A = this chain, B = another copy of it.
Amino acid sequence: MSVAGAGGVQRIRHGLAHAVVLALLVATLGGCASAPGGGSTGGTPSAGASSAASAATALPSWRDGAARQTIVRFVESVTRQGSPEYVPPAERIAVFDNDGTLWSEQPLYFQFFFLLDQVRAAAPQHPEWKSNPAFKAIMANDMAGLMREEKRLLPLIAQANSGMTVDEYDRTIRAWLDTARHPKFNRRYTDLVFQPQLELLNYLRANGFKTFIVSGGTIEFMRPWSERVYGIPPEQVVGSTQSVTYEMRGGQPTLVRGPKLEFINDGAGKPVGIYRQIGRRPILAVGNSDGDLQMLQYTMAGTGSRLAVLVHHDDAEREFAYDRKSGIGKLDRALDEARARGWTVISMQQDWSQIYPSVRTQP
């Protein structure tokens, strides 16, 4: 399946209006949390990294600077028995946004590429779409045309991404992730996760943290690969949810996808999603955009030692550079608040010696 060309895509992100962004694209914003290797649990921490030297070992893609030092100091203080900042393992909840925080999100949220490809794939079953201008725009990779036809686009996306069982949809997502390639890097999307964050997730888990994704993306899009790629099991993925109903199909109990987006786990929805699914206030939150602001505020409003971290996309050469003016992953109010409150801001350019893993993920 083809993905929209990078040029068209650059245009779409400035053009698609807010309804789409809020209803579906923003459903691809999000938060997320954990690196490759074993299930993440809140078990007993192994001996925590206890020096800059061990931090360098645990976080090799992080340059020694304020960001890494702050993170390591925080982890050491909450894990040291007898420290006034000590936090028992069960309460070491770390939440990570996904898009833009754990993997890239430009030129469009990766889930949106998938949703459009689903429309293309479903076309043979929908001859009535042929006269739909939004459909024509998709098939012509005419992103400028598509952005003018947003209202006609939404029903296509809803139709193409509902009606099947959750198991069928899961297989579709896995197949897509195996074959689709990013328009700029020509790599699998799951290869475009941030190596320093994989290390951070592992480092946190090694120190007894339980790592969660808290993303605007939908749960079913992240869960097929979150465990393999981030080490975050499905039950620790908090995301937007589409309606699902329990039905008997051919005598078999199945869950069938409805067309309705029920809950948008973004912005003020993130603390709500955390409350619903985790039921504890995190002590560490990592995001990259204004959609993460409330999650960071909520995390920092608790008692005891806590840490809020923002990833700043300032590396046009190795990834993308964008913040206050971006249609995707806009970072404006949260950046102001981070500076006012002394939250940690990661410069991808300065703090990370490597962006993506060198080794490609297994199909």
Binding site for B on A (CB under 8 A): 39, 41-43, 89-90, 93, 166, 210, 212, 219, 223, 227, 233-237, 241, 244-246, 252-255, 268-269, 271-272, 275-280, 294, 297-298, 301
Per the bound structure, the CA–CA distance linking A38 and B125 in Å amounts to 52
Please state if B89 and A253 are interface contacts (CB–CB under 8 Å).
no
**What residue in chain B is nearest A299 (Cβ atoms)?**
B253
**Measured between alpha carbons, how far is A275 from B278 in the docked complex, in Å?**
15
Nearest-neighbor residue (CB-CB) of A166 within chain B? B275
Tell me the bound Cα distance from A246 to B271 in angstroms.
Answer: 7
Given known pairs A41-B41, A275-B255, A294-B253, the reply for A90 and B227 (CB within 8 Å) is: yes
State A294–B294 Cα separation when bound (angstroms): 36
A41 surroundings in chain B (CB, below 8 A):
39, 41-43
In the complex, the chain B residue whose C-beta lies closest to that of A297 is B253
Say how many copies of this protein the assembly contains.
2
Q: Which chain B residues border A275 with CB–CB below 8 Å?
A: 166, 244, 255
Known: A271-B253, A301-B253. A280 touches B234 (CB 8 A): yes
Q: Tell me whether A272 and B253 are in contact in the complex, defined as CB-CB below 8 angstroms, given that A41-B41, A42-B39, A223-B279 are known contacts.
A: no
Measured CB to CB, the closest approach of chain B to A246, in angstroms, equals: 4
By a CB distance below 8 angstroms, the chain B residues around A235 are 93, 210, 212, 235-236, 277-280
Q: Once bound together, how far apart are the Cα atoms of A227 and B93, in whole Å?
A: 15
**Distance of A331 from chain B, by nearest CB (Å):** 19
Compute how far the CA of A93 lies from the CA of B236 in the bound complex, rounded to whole angstroms: 13
Complex-state Cα separation, A90 to B280, whole angstroms: 22
- Please list the 4 inter-chain residue pairs (A to B) with the smallest Cβ-Cβ separation, ordered nearest first: A234-B279, A41-B41, A246-B268, A253-B297
Residues on the B chain within 8 Å of A298, using CB: 246, 253, 255
B276 and A244 contacting across the interface, CB-CB below 8 Å: yes
- A210: nearest residue on chain B (CB-CB)? B235
Are A272 and B244 neighbours in the complex by a CB distance under 8 Å? yes
Contact of A246 with B272 in the complex, beta carbons under 8 Å: yes
